[in-house]
């Protein structure tokens, strides 16, 4: 493929705003679907919610571990999404016109890429943990990003 000649085109404020809204909606839906699947499977299929399973010490430790990791994933989801929403918050003038569309969440090499990677990794860890609790250790990959 031949290299492009000239300056790369820039995005307009309206296009950045529309893409930011679409990006936020996509990651919000990803979080809700992942949490929905996780909660349904854990409540319906898993027996870790029954008191007979929690009686032994090993099961109690596993029960606590699963609950702590679930709370940690919820905190990661909420903080990541709120950070992206804060970065992408547009500013308007008195007549309702866009002054600033906020940070472009789809910009390559930006901090939003790392935040989106954290949401994707958290979703993967959460859903894969339905098969084995060892998949929670994939969160250690966050330091690689």
pLDDT (tens digit per residue) in 31-62 = 999 999 998 988 877 665 555 555 555 567 77
**Residues listed for the chain:** 145
Please list, in sequence order, all residues whose beta carbon lies within 8 angstroms of the beta carbon of residue 7, skipping any fewer than 6 positions away. Answer: none
Confidence of residue 79 (pLDDT cuts 50, 70, 90): very high
At residue 14, the pLDDT reads 86
- Its pTM stands at 0.81
Answer for the pair 38, 126: CB distance below 8 angstroms, yes or no.
yes
Residue 129 is classified by DSSP as T
Answer for the pair 88, 102: CB distance below 8 angstroms, yes or no.
yes
Number of DSSP helices (H) and strands (E) in the chain, helices first: 4, 2
What residue segments make up the domains of the chain, in order of their start?
15-144
Joined tokens for residue 132: 């084995």
Confidence of residue 77 (pLDDT cuts 50, 70, 90): very high
More confident residue, 133 or 60: 133
């Amino acid at each position: 493929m031949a290299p492009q000649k000239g300056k790369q085109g820039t995005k307009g404020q309206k296009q950045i705003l529309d893409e930011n809204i679409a990006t936020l909606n996509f990651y919000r839906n990803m979080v809700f679907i992942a949490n929905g699947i996780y909660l349904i499977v854990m409540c319906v299929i898993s027996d870790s919610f029954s008191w007979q399973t929690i009686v032994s010490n090993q099961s109690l430790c596993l029960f606590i571990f699963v609950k702590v990791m679930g709370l940690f994933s919820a905190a990661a989801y909420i903080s990541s999404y709120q950070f992206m929403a804060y970065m992408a918050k547009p500013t308007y003038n008195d007549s309702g016109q866009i002054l600033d569309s906020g940070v472009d969440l789809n910009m390559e090499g930006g901090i939003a890429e790392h935040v989106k990677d954290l949401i994707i990794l958290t979703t993967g860890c959460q859903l894969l943990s339905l098969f084995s609790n060892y998949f929670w250790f994939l969160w250690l990959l966050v330091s690689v990003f």
